[in-house]
Structure 1
Amino acid sequence: MNFDEFTGQAQHRLGMPGTGETLRAIRATLMTLGQRIPEGNAEDLAASLPIEIKWYLTGAVHDHGQRFDWQEFVGRVSDIEGTDPADAAYHARVVIDLVHEQVPESDFQQLRDMLPEGEDAENWRKLFEVVDADE
């Protein structure tokens, strides 16, 4: 899938009127995810994405491997995207579902496995609600 197809699919699924809003949602989700996961995992996940999208996960501005919870994740996505937290959480779920369709299952499982298992695990599972609903 190329950049235009990826953004077109995201725009359709998110029900957004324009490409600009769609790209903000994609960028906010993937930049924040890139901050949360280790650099090598971000590179693995990004390898199957269009080059223009790949950078959001792996860009040099990231401090990879940060430890923050689901609420912080949603807050960061919301701030970057410039939308309210409920919309940001939904947008993140949809973007992650689209990423899931583009990457090898082993890389996606690696993403699931690196997110917390303890008290915050239930909250992080929210990120995969659309993916899990499709299966």
Structure 2
Amino acid sequence: MKYDEFLARVRERGEYKDRNEAEGVTNAVLEVLAQRISPGEVEDLASQLPGPLGDVLLKARPAQAESFGIEEFYRRVAERTNARPRTAQWDASAVLTTVADAVTGGELNQIISQLPSGYAVLFGKADLAD
């Protein structure tokens, strides 16, 4: 998937007013995701996303993954986007369902397997992908 297509899908799913808003939300969600999954998995995911998105992930990658739950995920996204946690949940879902469309099933399973069960729904999955 190309960068413009990725942002267009996020914009449509999140009902954002323009590409810049979709881009800001996408970057915020990916930065928080990069802190939550292993550095190796960040690299794997970055390699499957369009160039600028891979760069966002790699810049946000910590030395080791942090362990935090879904509510903290929303809080961190909300902090980056100046939104409420409920809005951040919407934002995370718009971005992560698009990530699920853009990567292989195997990669998606690798990401979801590193996260508590509540995260799978953000990727549009009830559980691991088939």
Aligned partners of 1:62 and 1:111: how far apart in 2? 14
**SS of equivalent residue, structure 2 residue 49:** coil
Residue 74 (structure 1) aligns with: 74
Residue 127 (structure 1) aligns with: 122
Aligned partners of 1:62 and 1:40: how far apart in 2? 9
The 8 Å contact of residues 96 and 131 in structure 1, kept in 2 or not, is answered as no
Residue 61 (structure 2) aligns with: 62
Deviations 1:91-120 (A, max 9, x none): 11121111111111111000111113xxxx
Deviations 1:42-99 (A, max 9, x none): 111121111011122221x432401111111100001111111111111111211111
Identity of aligned residues (%): 29
**SS of equivalent residue, structure 1 residue 47:** helix
C-alpha deviation, 1:33, in angstroms = 0.2
Alignment of 1:45-60 (within 5 A): 45-59=45-59
Letter of the structure 2 residue corresponding to residue 55 of structure 1 = D
Q: Could you tell me the TM-score, scaled by structure 2's length?
A: 0.88
Residue 21 (structure 1) aligns with: 21
How many residue pairs align between the two structures?
126
Letter of the structure 1 residue corresponding to residue 52 of structure 2 = E
Q: What are the ranges of 5 or more consecutive residues in structure 1 without an aligned counterpart?
A: none
Q: Could you tell me the TM-score, scaled by structure 1's length?
A: 0.85
Please tell me the root mean square deviation across aligned C-alpha atoms, in Å.
1.7
The 8 Å contact of residues 42 and 61 in structure 2, kept in 1 or not, is answered as no
Aligned partners of 1:114 and 1:21: how far apart in 2? 28
Residue 105 (structure 1) aligns with: 105
CA pair 131-125 structure 1, distance change in 2 beyond 3 A? closer
Aligned partners of 1:102 and 1:124: how far apart in 2? 17
C-alpha deviation, 1:20, in angstroms = 1.7
Q: What are the ranges of 5 or more consecutive residues in structure 2 without an aligned counterpart?
A: none
